[in-house]
Amino acid sequence: MIKMEFTEDEINELYHEFMGHPAGTTKNKLHVVYLKSLNLSHQDIALIARVDTVLSQVLLKNQKA
């Protein structure tokens, strides 16, 4: 499991960026990172964001780098 820690301000920022971004790959990535900031499992993130579990992990690894 990929460990990431977020402050309350960062979580709020992610939410506003996700909600305000037009549809597309970047919006999907923001959605996945936002859900991870809520400490959801990769399986839950994939289910909610409607992406493959492996893709959610790749997006998170790229975000962490």
Give residue-wise pLDDT tens across range 12-65: 999 999 999 998 888 998 999 999 999 999 899 999 999 888 888 887 887 765
Residue 52 covered by a domain: yes
Residue 64: per-residue pLDDT:
67
Residue 34 maps to a domain: yes
Does some domain include residue 40?
yes
Helix (H) or strand (E) holding 42: helix 42-49
How far apart (Å, rounded) are the C-alpha atoms in residues 52 and 45?
9
Task: Count how many domains the chain has.
Answer: 1
Residue at 60 is within a domain = yes
The domain of 19 spans 8-64
Q: Give the confidence band of 2 by pLDDT, cuts at 50, 70, 90.
A: low
**Which pTM does this prediction carry?**
0.81
Query: What local confidence, expressed as pLDDT, does residue 1 receive?
Result: 58
